[in-house]
């Protein structure tokens, strides 16, 4: 991922093996990372069993929140692309048991299309 893409909020595919090593302590035995996308400092990780959302917090990003969403809990998702005046696109994921959808904002249509395609592949 280029630094400029990250600063602009564009998602980019990240090396799955690097993410596999980074998440070793979080992954279940036999679970492997199939795909990962970085948005700013955060990660959307698609594994063989679930979607993991990594929210890096603080100035250094050492503090992290891991949200684990089993694919069977994803009820639906939507994608809103950019327009002429609205330069941000948005991905929403409705998860069983949560009142509000999980929402991620992107600044690039091709980025959101890649993530939505991956979500469709793993969650459907």
Q: What is the pLDDT along the chain (124 residues), one digit of tens a residue?
A: 344 344 444 556 788 899 999 999 999 999 999 999 887 778 899 999 999 999 988 877 788 899 999 999 999 999 998 777 777 888 999 999 999 999 988 776 667 888 899 899 988 8
Quote the pTM value.
0.81
User: Other CB atoms closer than 10 Å to residue 43's CB: what's the count?
Assistant: 22
Go through the chain and tell me how many residues it has.
124
Residue 57 token pair:
């917090």
Q: What is the largest CA-CA distance in the chain?
A: 47
The SS3 assignment for 22 reads helix
């Amino acid at each position: 991922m280029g630094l400029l893409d990250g600063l602009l909020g564009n998602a980019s595919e990240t090396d799955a093996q690097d993410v596999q090593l980074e998440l070793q302590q979080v992954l279940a035995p036999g679970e492997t990372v199939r795909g990962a996308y970085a948005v700013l400092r955060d990660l959307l990780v698609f594994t063989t069993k679930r979607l993991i959302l990594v929210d890096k917090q603080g100035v250094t990003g050492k503090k992290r929140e891991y949200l684990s969403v089993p694919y069977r809990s994803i009820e639906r998702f939507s994608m809103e692309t950019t327009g002429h005046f609205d330069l941000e696109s948005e991905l929403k994921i409705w998860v069983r048991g949560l009142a509000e959808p999980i929402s991620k904002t992107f600044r690039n249509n091709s980025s959101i299309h890649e993530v939505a395609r991956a979500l469709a592949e793993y969650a459907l």
